[in-house]
C-alpha cells in the first residue's frame, strides 16, 4: 500500500465541467475528411465533440469548470490554496495555465502549477494534489483537467481528427482527519506509471525547444490501442492490491474517455461489470486530461455517483503515462 495510516485524507467536496458551445458532429466531419458516422461510431463510439471558439483558451475552459466545481462543493475561490492543472495544450508556453486560472478566480494566495501527462493529466494532478493535502502543507485543492486539442489536431488527417475534442473538468479536494479505514471518505490510493520509450507512438511534432512551433498530434492508433488495453490495467490491479478491495467492491469505473472499445475491453479484462462503467466519450470524444473529470461530473450530476460509493479512476496518455486513483466518494 502506498499509504500507511494517514493523518489526513483528501475528500472530494465537488466536481464540475465545461464544454465549449460549438459542437462538431460526425456528419459534419465527414464533409471535411473522407470518413463516416458509421466508421467513427463503430471504431470509437464517438458521436460528436466540442470545439473552443476563436479566442477561447484552455484557461477559460478550466476557469468555467473550476467555478462549476466550486459551486458544487459549496466553497468559495478564496478557500483554495492549491491549484494543479493537467494540460498539454496550455494557453502559452509560459506562464502556466494554472496561474492564469488562479488570477481569473481572484486567488492571490497559495500555489498554482501545471502538470503535463497528456491524457493521464487529471489522474496525475489528482495524485499530486492528494499528496500535498495528505502531507498537511495545504488544505483545499482545485484539480483541473483542461484542453483545447482542436488547436493541435491536423484537420486533414482523418486517422486522428475524428477522435479529439475540447473541454475541461474540475474537482475540489479537502484535507480531512482520517483513521485510514477503507470505508472512510477520500482518496484511498493512487498509482502512477510512465515509460518514455513509447514516444513515437503518440506525440506532437512541434515544441518550443525542438522546433519553435506548436506542432500537430501524430499517433499510431493501433499501437496505442494495444497498449491501452494490454498494459494499463496493471495500475488498477495495484490499487486493488494496495487496499484489499476487488472489482466486485467497485460501484463505478471511470476510465479515460478515448474510445468506447478500449473502455469496454479494459473493464472486461479487469472483471468490472458493464453497468459500473461511466462513459461519456460519445458526447465529447477524447478531451485528453479533461476526459476523466468530465465523466465524473456527468455521473455526479445525474445522481449515479453518490457519497460513500467506491470509484476507480484510470487513464493512459502519451509518453506513455498511465495511472489510477481509487476514491471513496
Cα–Cα distance for residue pair 56/233, rounded to 1 Å: 35
**How wide is the angle at C-alpha 229 spanned by C-alphas 227 and 230, nearest 5°?**
60
Taking a C-beta distance cutoff of 8 angstroms, is the pair 117, 321 a contact? yes
Question: Binding pattern to ligand ACO, positions 12-51, x when CB under 6 A?
Answer: -----------------------x---x---xx-------
Cα–Cα distance for residue pair 170/240, rounded to 1 Å: 25
Taking a C-beta distance cutoff of 8 angstroms, is the pair 174, 10 a contact? yes
Q: Does 158 bind ligand ACO (CB under 6 A)?
A: yes
Strands 22-25 and 310-317: unpaired
User: Would residue 256 show up in a list of annotated catalytic residues for this protein?
Assistant: yes
Q: Does 318 bind ligand ACO (CB under 6 A)?
A: yes
Number of residues lying near ligand ACO (CB under 6 A)? 23
CB of 204 or CB of 298, closer to ligand ACO: 204
- Give the range of 11-19, 104-112, 154-162, 263-271 binding ligand ACO by CB under 6 A: 154-162
Q: Does 258 bind ligand ACO (CB under 6 A)?
A: yes
Residue 35 CB, nearest distance to ligand ACO (Å)?
A: 3
Query: 21-43 in b/e burial notation, b at 16+ Cβ within 10 A?
Result: eeebebeebbeeeebebeebeeb
- Give the range of 15-23, 184-192, 239-247, 255-263 binding ligand ACO by CB under 6 A: 255-263
Residue 176 CB, nearest distance to ligand ACO (Å)?
A: 32
Taking a C-beta distance cutoff of 8 angstroms, is the pair 174, 49 a contact? no
Please report where in the chains the cell 484489499 appears, as a residue. 244
Collapsed DSSP state (helix, strand, coil) of residue 98: helix
Taking a C-beta distance cutoff of 8 angstroms, is the pair 104, 300 a contact? no
CB of 214 or CB of 242, closer to ligand ACO: 214
Residue 77 CB, nearest distance to ligand ACO (Å)?
A: 30
Q: Does 113 bind ligand ACO (CB under 6 A)?
A: no
Cα–Cα distance for residue pair 292/224, rounded to 1 Å: 18
- Give the range of 1-9, 15-23, 239-247, 314-322 binding ligand ACO by CB under 6 A: 314-322
User: Would residue 286 show up in a list of annotated catalytic residues for this protein?
Assistant: yes
Please report where in the chains the cell 475552459 appears, as a residue. 61
Residues that bind ligand ACO (CB under 6 A): 35, 39, 43-44, 118-119, 158-159, 162, 202, 219, 221-222, 224-225, 258-259, 262, 286, 288, 316-318
Q: Which residues are catalytic?
A: 119, 256, 286
Amino acid at each position: 500500500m502506498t499509504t500507511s495510516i494517514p493523518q489526513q485524507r483528501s475528500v472530494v467536496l465537488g466536481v464540475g465541467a465545461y464544454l465549449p458551445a460549438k459542437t462538431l458532429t460526425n456528419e459534419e466531419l465527414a464533409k471535411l475528411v473522407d470518413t463516416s458516422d458509421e466508421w467513427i461510431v463503430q471504431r470509437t463510439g464517438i458521436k460528436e465533440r466540442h470545439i473552443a471558439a476563436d479566442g477561447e483558451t484552455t484557461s477559460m475552459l478550466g476557469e468555467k469548470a473550476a467555478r462549476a466545481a466550486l459551486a458544487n462543493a459549496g466553497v468559495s475561490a478564496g478557500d483554495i490554496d492549491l491549484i494543479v492543472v493537467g494540460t498539454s495544450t496550455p494557453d502559452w508556453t509560459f506562464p502556466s495555465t494554472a496561474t492564469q486560472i488562479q488570477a481569473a478566480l481572484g486567488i492571490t494566495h497559495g500555489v498554482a502549477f501545471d502538470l503535463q501527462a497528456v491524457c493521464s493529466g487529471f489522474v496525475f494532478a489528482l495524485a499530486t494534489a492528494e499528496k500535498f493535502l495528505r502531507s498537511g502543507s495545504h488544505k483545499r485543492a482545485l484539480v483541473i483537467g483542461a484542453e483545447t486539442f482542436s488547436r493541435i489536431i491536423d484537420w486533414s488527417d482523418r486517422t486522428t481528427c475524428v477522435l479529439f475534442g475540447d473541454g475541461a473538468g474540475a474537482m475540489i479536494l479537502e484535507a480531512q482527519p482520517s483513521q485510514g479505514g477503507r470505508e472512510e471518505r477520500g482518496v484511498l490510493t493512487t498509482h502512477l506509471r510512465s515509460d518514455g520509450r513509447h514516444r513515437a507512438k503518440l506525440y506532437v511534432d512541434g515544441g518550443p525547444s525542438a522546433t519553435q512551433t506548436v506542432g500537430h498530434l501524430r499517433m499510431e492508433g493501433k499501437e496505442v490501442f494495444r497498449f491501452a488495453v494490454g498494459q494499463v490495467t496493471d495500475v488498477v490491479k495495484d490499487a486493488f492490491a494496495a487496499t484489499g478491495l476487488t472489482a466486485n467492491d467497485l460501484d463505478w469505473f471511470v476510465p479515460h474517455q478515448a474510445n468506447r472499445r478500449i473502455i469496454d475491453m479494459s473493464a472486461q479484462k479487469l472483471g468490472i461489470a458493464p453497468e459500473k462503467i461511466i462513459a461519456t466519450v460519445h458526447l465529447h470524444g477524447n478531451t485528453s486530461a479533461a476526459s476523466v473529470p468530465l465523466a465524473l461530473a456527468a455521473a455526479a450530476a445525474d445522481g449515479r455517483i453518490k457519497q460513500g460509493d467506491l470509484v476507480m479512476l484510470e487513464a493512459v496518455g502519451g509518453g506513455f503515462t498511465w495511472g489510477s486513483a481509487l476514491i471513496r466518494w
